[in-house]
Structure 1
């Protein structure tokens, strides 16, 4: 029987299960999705019961397999989500969705009580993002639903709740506490004073290292069970463990998040104004992160261009970078796109297409977006001297994006990586005793080096 590590990787849409061998090679996977249910206010939310049943049934089935010998299991999930348990370990409330609107009166009362929004953002590394700050979910429950709040014995972030399903042991860990929750004071390296003032420390279980595992007898088998990890921190871990020099990782998708795991400064007021927040490494150190709504904006603008030029919606995927087109556009370059999900000082009041073909308009769009991306990367870098840049996610195979980024950041060595397993692999590495070497990314992530084009 092959010795394997089992990982549940729980996204908002896809729920995935993987088995990895000792070399972190994927040997098995299965996916599922669930329809959302609604909370008491009619807002869509995770179907926790279905999720729990699926977790148990998949794991119990694989345990009985005569092909695999599971030695360890861990869990990677999205953040900003609490599961609240009563004295009997039963779930008290729905898993409130972080997109649920938060009453502005609750937010106002919080900042009136505990200090200006800007100062709180600097100390907690969390801008005011409503329910996306999971600490605010606790504050809202206590003050808007006090009868429900009284029933809570423990509040667990989602990765730790999934670990709890298997161990029955309530715990907290750094990466979940540190992801824009507004709970943590990065200067004190402890919960913020407001958390103690509200008494929330009494329902937040003891904090353990993300690398903690619990050796248990599970259905008659001795298994090492992890405590779970927040997915963004999990995706960062393979890079931190295998790269010796300082680097920036840009994780691209709907959001493009530039992660700097080497910043040892607290965020400044300027950082907060420029959409920076902190995540946390598994050892409790901050990860300075600059957010840009790049993928969403790209999707919106490409759809408009496709409609305007009457080309297929997939046409943009076939376009390669063209130097002559780029140089032509640069002669009279000025912003022509009005963004929908991003605000900049230079954007026009409305989009004005000044080209007669899709390729030129697309190149112009990408230049403008890459300028925003460059600024975001520089925000994350700050004063740190960092020469290595890694790009993963959806934009890593966009030729125009990569060529332009390599050109505008000529002082950095740019490499792209390709791993749909990023956070799942990170969760496996978090509970492994084995060390990663410098060849890990090349072997597991299709690492590619890119050089700037020659300026003619």
Structure 2
């Protein structure tokens, strides 16, 4: 019986837990998705069901072994960040998988920043805006100060992607894409852990750093595998673009947040940038990726609900709205585009129909997007912008973006399951005998409108 060589990718999001098999052409040949009901921590805050997640990881691998039509050569993992699994000497969790949205004690936060030079200095050094438990290193600081009985039991604290790998390999490692993503742990100028990590005894709880591009050998269910140590999902999603394009580019990853990523911006974060919600991610090769964030997807969701109610149409009516240059021209001539004005402040009765109002919403969002994206472009020689996610399928957004950056080539980009593909590509050389395919990314070019 002929078998298809594949790589298995466990892709863990906050909502969906996915399992994929990719063939050597990075085509999905198997897919399975599950959702788990959250549990509560000791304070009544929601948290991931760690037991269910652990059982799913192990059971899924066993299921894969029963698929005779596939030859599983390698495994890798991607997962959401800012989440630690704390394991004891016996290799089992000694604490819950706390939610990064859990409120962080204000007094403890004040003490931390007072002891280590203030919010501005720490943020600039660690490329981490002050985000409470979203700064995952602060979770360890909290455990040490508020729950020392748990902290003292910890042998290794593993970010979630590395815990998933640990379930298969029983080898504990840290990964730079998780450590380097708004954790407060990493000193970017010195390329090492921040001083507070050493002084607080946190470093001894962290596993050795291992390259995301390498693998470890593991054996499970009487079969041998090459196993990656996992990646932070945002860094994994960037890998297909880094693999396919060498000329400088910007990627705007759109969803609830619109995150502009510039892997070619080598300038250190400034105080002004941090105050405008900029941060740094870390590529799988250990290089800083400057990023800016905009809550545009959330704004779009909220305001389209209001539009639907006002004009008595379906909530997803915007999906049928095509770009109308004459509407944009008319709105621009009436000075409807104004800096600092958000759509929520506008009077919907001023718009004659849904289409005009929706164009106004996108104009207002685009003004914010322009400012956010410019923060990470700076003076770099970037000549292409790729947009993936929800807004890449929105012709009004895409045409307005092309108009806003007429000196650049603007593309809507699509990678099927980009995060999972990125995790597979990170260890390509260890399992795949074929060269990288040229068709991983689908592109659609948007020319600048004639009104520019």
TM-score clears 0.5: yes
Contact kept in structure 2, 1:329 and 1:364, CA below 8 Å: yes
Shift of 1:356: 2.2
CA distance in 2, matches of 1:17, 1:346: 43
Report the alpha carbon displacement of residue 407 of structure 1 after superposing the two structures with TM.
0.9
Q: Evaluate the alpha carbon distance shift between residue 2 and residue 275 of structure 1 in structure 2; reply closer, same or farther with a 3 A threshold.
A: same
Mapping of residues 424-443 of structure 1, within 5 Å: 424-433=420-429, 440=438, 443=439
Q: Which residue of 2 aligns with 1:177?
A: 179
TM-score by length of 2: 0.96
Q: Distance in 1 between matches of 2:343 and 2:426?
A: 46
Unmatched tracts of structure 1, length 5 or more: 337-343
Please give the secondary structure, in 2, of the residue aligned with 1:279. Answer: strand
More displaced 10-residue stretch of structure 1: 208-217 or 404-413: 208-217
| Preserved CA contact (<8 Å) 1:241 1:436 | no
* Structure-to-structure mapping, 1:210-289, within 5 angstroms: 210-289=212-291
SS at match of 2:250: strand
Residues of 1 paired with 2:434 and 2:406: CA distance?
29
Structure-2 residue corresponding to 1:127: 129
Offset, 1:207:
0.4
In 2, distance between residues paired with 1:332 and 1:351?
Answer: 14
Checking the alignment, whether the CA contact within 8 Å between 2:25 and 2:436 is kept in structure 1 is: no
Instruction: Show CA shifts across 1:237-276 (max 9, x none).
Output: 1111110100000000000000011111210011101110
Which of 6, 9, 24 does residue 8 from structure 2 map onto?
6
Could you tell me how far apart the structure 1 residues matched to 2:343 and 2:319 are? 26
Structure-2 residue corresponding to 1:339: none
1:89-125: CA deviation from partner (whole Å, max 9, x where unpaired):
1101110000100110110000110011011111100
Do the aligned partners of 2:168 and 2:218 also contact (CA within 8 Å) in 1? no
In structure 2, runs of 5+ residues without a counterpart are none
Contact 1:211 1:430 in 2 (8 A): yes
Q: Deviations over 1:6-34 (max 9, x none)?
A: 00000000000000111111111011101
Aligned to 2:140: 138
User: How far has the Cα of 1:383 moved from its partner?
Assistant: 2.1
| TM-fit CA distance, 1:132 | 0.2
Shift, 1:348, TM fit: 8.5
**Is the alpha carbon distance of 1:326 and 1:335 closer, same or farther for their aligned partners in structure 2, counting shifts above 3 Å?**
closer
Q: How does 1:153-192 map to 2 (within 5 A)?
A: 153-192=155-194
Q: 1:452 and 1:335, CA in 2 relative to 1: closer, same or farther beyond 3 A?
A: closer
Determine helix, strand or coil for the equivalent of 2:67: coil
After TM superposition, list the pairs within 5 Å mapping 1:41-60 onto structure 2: 41-60=43-62
Match of 2:302 among 296, 300, 303: 300
Classify the secondary structure of the residue corresponding to 2:380: coil
Confirm or deny: 8 A CA contact 1:306 1:312 kept in the other structure: yes
Give the distance between the partners of 1:283 and 1:435, measured in 2 at CA: 22
Contact 1:387 1:411 (C-alpha < 8 Å) held by counterparts: yes
Task: Compute the displacement of 1:333 (Å).
Answer: 2.1
Match of 2:346 among 342, 345, 351: 351
Q: How many residues align?
A: 447
The residue matched to 1:246 in structure 2 has which SS?
coil
Encode CA deviations 1:352-390: one digit per residue, 9 max, x unaligned. 222121111111111110111111111111221211110
Shift of 1:435: 9.7
Q: Secondary structure at the match of 2:442?
A: coil
Q: Deviations over 1:64-90 (max 9, x none)?
A: 221001000000000000000111111
Matching residue within 341, 361, 364 for 2:360: 364
1:315 equivalent in alignment to 2:317: yes
- The separation in 1 between residues aligned to 2:344 and 2:238, in whole angstroms, is 38
Structure 1 residue aligned with 2:398: 402
**Secondary structure at the counterpart of residue 447 of structure 1:** strand
Moved more, 286-295 or 307-316: 307-316
